[in-house]
Amino acid sequence: MPVTTTYWLEHAWLDTNVEPGVALEISADGRITAVRTGAEAPPPGAEVLRGLTVPGLANAHSHAFHRALRGTVQVGSGTFWTWREIMYSVAQNLTPDSYFALARAVYAEMALAGITAVGEFHYLHHAPGGAAYADPNAMGEALIAAAAEAGIRITLLDTAYLSAGFGEAPNHHQLRFSDGTAEAWAERVSALKPRDHALIGAAIHSVRAVPAGQLAAVAAWAQERRAPLHVHLSEQTAENDACQAAHGRTPTQLLADHGVLGPRTTGVHNTHLTDADIALLGGTTTGTCMCPTTERDLADGIGPAVRLQRAGSPLSLGSDSHAVIDLLEEARAMELNERLASRTRGHWTAAALLRAATADGHAALGWADAGTLAVGAPADFTTIALDSVRTAGPVPRLGAETAVFAATAADVRHTVVAGRHIVRDGAHQLVPDVPSALSESIAALRT
């Protein structure tokens, strides 16, 4: 890349409003060095991005291997728990090599959808039966390498998963997930190192999967490193009931008692909460990652996102099981779900929903300076067509509303990460045939 690269944005969302004719200057190290509005025509030599350019989207909650379940788990009926059995069968067939191939294709699909950073909630650590690989972090390293080859950033949320339930040893499927103790988990994950495109964070799978006495050890590891810490929280009422039976309190109260909550912590789903839970999460500024397409696919319910945000919990978004990979749909669904639940409209503006999908999502993943088109920020952005059959018609100043309430991932025209064009005119520049890469990597898991 030359010392400075210039991108000319036909229209750009600058946090609160859409501006026509914006020129971004990008340094050789992939950061924005100037934002010039009122540029009516492209400067000489500039890369031209026609449509609406927004900061790169942050997918704050992903399980890459769940992409192999798309379609399969939509056959018939069932519950979260029957879905989980199918998920286990796919997990059993993954190796570091096959996981790399699948994740590379999944992350390329994300780039095509305008996603520039992913939070990978990673608990598939060991070989079938629980034996460690020669490199105990081979699976995590495969994910980090896959993100690099797909051209996006990753926060590897290495996950402690130690039990099948309250007081239960891991079942035969879960042996791959478990390090035995939180101390052994911490020793393994400490060997993972950040890179330019990768941060290392932590996760507690859930209060049922990490014994109460070991929660603090995971939280302490993240606290010492000022790393993001994520946790599946109250996704299912069955988990709430089991936690009450085992500990006489809700999962949120249990996490609070063991020092897990706080501004670098994000609860994923936060669906079935009491008033006291909401106050605890908001009062500690613990984040909430909503995953509406997965929550509706699994019939989990609609979480109290409005009340959580009002209480002080920042909102982010994730595609989770990848029933679809479309952060615009996640943003839209959060508002539309709330409309169905409350029978009132307009809980969030389009700008607020975009912030959840951009700046607040990046903050939840530890990329605190990303998710904005501003001087000093990483040059990560995506351009959405304003002339497709879905988006044509509204005036450009309503571009944010058009993007959130009408556009889909199919309308993403360009994706730029660290100043590098990863998706150009709807084509991935590093993975030439993403559909074939997905088909081949998923088919390999069936043999």
Known catalytic residues are: 269, 320
CB 16 within 8 A of CB 354: no
DSSP H stretches of helix in 320-432: 327-342, 350-357, 359-364, 399-405
CB 146 within 8 A of CB 392: no
CA atoms within a 13 Å half-sphere pointing along the CA-CB vector of 90? 22
SS3 217: helix
Token pair for 232: 């599946």
Nearest to 35, CA basis, from 339, 362, 318, 374: 374
CB 322 within 8 A of CB 394: no
Four-residue CA torsion sign, 130, 143, 57, 314? positive
Beta strands, E only, 98-242: 115-122, 153-160, 198-204, 229-233
In whole angstroms, give the CA distance from residue 427 to residue 421.
Answer: 10
CB 225 within 8 A of CB 186: no
End-to-end Cα separation, the chain, in angstroms: 42
- C-beta neighbour count of 4 within 10 angstroms: 13
What DSSP letter does each residue of 284-325 carry, written as one string? TT-EEEE-HHHHHHTT-----HHHHHHHT--EEE--BTTSS-
Token pair for 109: 């699909």
